[in-house]
Amino acid sequence: MNSNELVSTKKAAEFLGVSVSTIYRMIEQGTLEPSKTPGGQRRFEVKALEEFKESSKTIEAPQNPAKSKKNTNENNEIEENATNEAAEEKPVDKRNTLNDLNGSQWLPETKSFFYQKGLGAKHPHAKIERQHPAPFSFQDVSHLITFFTKKEMKVLDPFGGVGSTAKACELEGRHCTSIELQEKWHSLAIERLDTEVFEGASAKHTFIQGDSRTILKQFEDSSFDFMVTSPPYWSILNKKADHKVKKERLANNLATNYSEDDENDLANVESYEEFLKILVDDVFLECGRVLSPKKYMCLVVSDFRNKSTFISFHSDLIQALNRRTTKDGYKICLQGVKVLLQNHKTLLPYGYPFAYVENIHHQYVLIFRKDK
């Protein structure tokens, strides 16, 4: 092989004398770094493989199939990745104006659920994300961005936080406009891209510090190709909850809410009904206006409890937004609901031993489209 050549995962495995599953395991561990072609296919530089082979005396052997259930699940995921790699070789249908996926890649994305992925609290790149009280995994945003956009398309996040959407856009070759009310999170989002991706990465995207309700009105109709966000939680971060998670954040000097007393912070709105109305009328319908026709918006939300009352936030939001008309004459129509499973979260003994109180270990991705 030519040293400058780029090869597939299968070829890389053959070159190193290991299985495709081992290649994926090495990628997960960070011992092997792939690159991507303009079409989104994963490739490896032969020169890098040669250097790795020279410097590595031993390469991790395939796992014993008789190991624990946990290892079995990990192997299943690796095998699924190997299947996805084979799917990458197929061409993208020329009629596909939504994304850069071929048929084999498209079909699995129509499942009504997917599992949350994160770097883990101890990962060095989780340092900035962890400072935010309700961070959104950039891997999960990437999952949505790669399905609902093509390379170079424009993505909007009206609640940018610490830049998860911006980071996902940078890694996936999209352009992000991130709006964040609080200066602290706005600055950390820029720092995150410049430290976790590469210095100067933030300059490729637009970061705006201010109130989305004001800033969105400044954008022209049909300015963006996709909108994705995780909106603020109403009030619950401000409650005097006395459980382990909040205690740990306080012990580590980490924020437990978005802001203290900012009247523009939607999390500080006293009435849930008013919060919902502002969120839909002043933010999401404006997002719909600046979204191009036939394009999508994804809202990642969670239900919650307010004292003894269970708030079905996702269904309230659907009822308040579905088939509403934007100012430019289009309707925002619900297309589906994905469940984002958070199976890694710690179980807390809510209600025990007196009553059933749910550990909410999932979120909903509400998928809307702008239609006539």
Backbone Cα Rg of the chain? 22
Q: Output the pLDDT for position 78.
A: 56
Tell me the HSE value of 213 on the side-chain side, using a 13 A CA sphere.
11
Q: CA 278 → CA 37, 213, 216, 238, distances in Å?
A: 42, 9, 14, 19
- Do 103-371 and 6-87 fall under one CATH topology? no
What is the mean pLDDT of each successive set of 10 residues along the chain, which is 372 residues long? 77 83 75 72 82 62 47 55 63 96 95 88 76 78 97 97 95 97 94 94 97 97 98 67 48 48 82 95 98 98 90 97 98 98 90 94 97 93
* Cβ-defined contacts of 241-250 (< 8 Å, 24+): 243/348, 244/346, 244/348, 245/346, 245/348, 249/133
Strand ranges inside 127-222, DSSP E: 154-157, 175-180, 206-209
Number of CB atoms found within 10 A of residue 69's CB: 7
Distance CA 115, CA 179 (A): 27
Map out the domains of the chain as residue ranges.
6-87, 103-371
C-alpha dihedral (71, 340, 231, 275), degrees to nearest 10: -130
Distance CA 323, CA 317 (A): 12
Distance CA 206, CA 133 (A): 23
* Residue 181 tokens, joined: 């009310």
Q: Output the pLDDT for position 244.
A: 46
Query: In this structure, what are the phi and psi dihedrals at residue 283, rounded to the nearest 5 degrees?
Result: -115, -60
DSSP state of 253: T
Number of CB atoms found within 10 A of residue 122's CB: 8
Strands 35-36 and 42-45: antiparallel
Asked if residue 46 lies in contact with residue 34, where contact means CB atoms within 8 angstroms, the answer is no
| CATH class, range 103-371 | alpha beta
Nearest to 275 by CA among 284, 263, 286, 266: 266
Q: What are the residues whose beta carbons fall under 8 Å from the beta carbon of 62, sequence distance 6 or more? A: 18, 19, 21, 22
The hierarchical CATH code for the domain 6-87 is 1.10.1660
Mind giving me the DSSP string for 214-266?
A: HHGGGSPTT-EEEEEE-PPPSSGGGS---SHHHHHHHHTT--SSS-SS-TT-G
Asked if residue 161 lies in contact with residue 132, where contact means CB atoms within 8 angstroms, the answer is yes
- With the C-alpha atoms ordered 305, 306, 309, 313, is the resulting torsion angle positive or negative? negative
Q: Output the pLDDT for position 306.
A: 87
Query: In this structure, what are the phi and psi dihedrals at residue 186, rounded to the nearest 5 degrees?
Result: -55, -50
Q: Output the pLDDT for position 152.
A: 97
